[in-house]
Amino acid sequence: VVKHGILRVKGFAAIPGKPMRLLIQGVGTRFDKHFDRAWGRDEARSTKLVLIGQDLDAALLESTLRTALSV
């Protein structure tokens, strides 16, 4: 099921308390995630995702993701 028009997601996430970044990849209903490497000493810990889809509402998606991160 396509939710919010998202067809594909790719990127990585900064998980509080984890020394490694979480790699995220998804296409349709197939979704994979795993910790791929430690954050670099001078690397900013931040979540960066690329969403590909149809008629995406950027403000709604950002709000939904921020809400999910605060839980």
* Domain at 6-69: CATH code: 3.30.1220.10
Structural domain spans, the chain: 6-69
**More reliable by pLDDT, 24 or 70:** 24
Q: 9-63: per-residue pLDDT in tens?
A: 999 999 888 999 999 999 988 999 999 999 999 999 999 999 999 889 999 988 8
Res 46: pLDDT? 92
**More reliable by pLDDT, 1 or 15:** 15
Predicted TM-score (pTM) of this structure: 0.75
Res 4: pLDDT? 77
3 to 6, 13, 46: CA distances (angstroms): 6, 20, 24
